[in-house]
């Protein structure tokens, strides 16, 4: 039977493994605002694309005598604007999908710790074998950092607080897990890793 750590982390021991599920924190009014903003932002971006690629800019110029250099500048501005829009559109749509349908799935068995960041069931599971894991720890985000503030804003998927070194590369998981929950979960994960390694 699943056991809870906080209000969005569930753990369960099975016959041959232990699983942990971390879900995003749901706040209805923030979800409504975020979705409304993304819809408006998406509409605006498509309008810019219409202006640039489908002749919309020519319709705006009706009755106005723009010379070619001014028109070229307008096209450059629109191109740069659409590039920025595309980047932020990707981030915000990803955040909406994550907040509505995302979850982190962690599994510990006799060989490895597996982590899957899943949206609607889609996502790649990464398997980290125990013998190659070093420095598995909780890293408290710097509360005074602007990057931390932006990463943990509701329109962002969030920063990850669990860090491990695997084959010389830094890996992370645990989006927006708060300190108290993180410490409890870290203790739980370390305990289950020891338990399953003994059964290998």
Rounded mean pLDDT, 170-194: 94
How do residues 150-161 score in pLDDT, each as one tens digit? 767 777 777 899
Three-state SS for 54? coil
> CA-to-CA distance for 196 and 200, rounded, in angstroms?
7
Residue keyed to tokens 């923030």: 30
Enclosing H/E stretch for 3: strand 3-5
pLDDT exceeds 60 at position 61? no
How do residues 4-36 score in pLDDT, each as one tens digit? 998 999 999 999 999 999 999 888 898 899 999
> CA-to-CA distance for 113 and 110, rounded, in angstroms?
9
Question: Considering only CA atoms, which of 115, 124, 127, 93 is closest in space to residue 177?
Answer: 115
Look up the pTM and report it.
Answer: 0.82
Chain-centre distance of CA 122, in angstroms? 13
Q: Write the burial class of residue 53 (CB in 10 Å: 0-12 exposed, 13-18 middle, 19+ buried).
A: exposed
């Amino acid at each position: 039977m699943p056991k809870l750590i906080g209000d969005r982390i569930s753990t369960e021991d099975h016959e041959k493994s232990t699983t942990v599920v971390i879900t995003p924190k749901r706040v209805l009014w923030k979800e409504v605002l975020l979705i409304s903003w993304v819809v408006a932002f998406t509409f605006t971006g498509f309008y810019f694309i219409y202006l640039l690629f489908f002749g919309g800019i020519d319709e705006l110029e009706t009755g106005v005598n723009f010379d070619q250099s001014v028109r070229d500048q307008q096209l450059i501005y629109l191109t740069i604007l659409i590039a920025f829009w595309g980047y932020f559109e990707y981030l915000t749509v990803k955040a909406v999908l994550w907040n509505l349908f995302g979850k982190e799935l962690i599994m510990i068995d006799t060989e490895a710790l597996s982590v899957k960041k899943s949206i609607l069931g889609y996502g790649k599971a990464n398997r980290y074998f125990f013998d190659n894991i070093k420095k598995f720890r909780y890293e408290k985000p710097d509360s005074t950092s602007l990057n931390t503030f932006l990463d943990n804003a509701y329109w962002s998927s969030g920063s990850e607080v669990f860090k491990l070194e695997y084959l010389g590369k830094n890996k992370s998981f645990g989006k927006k897990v708060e300190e108290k929950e993180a410490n409890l979960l870290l203790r739980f994960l370390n305990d289950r890793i020891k338990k399953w390694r003994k059964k290998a």
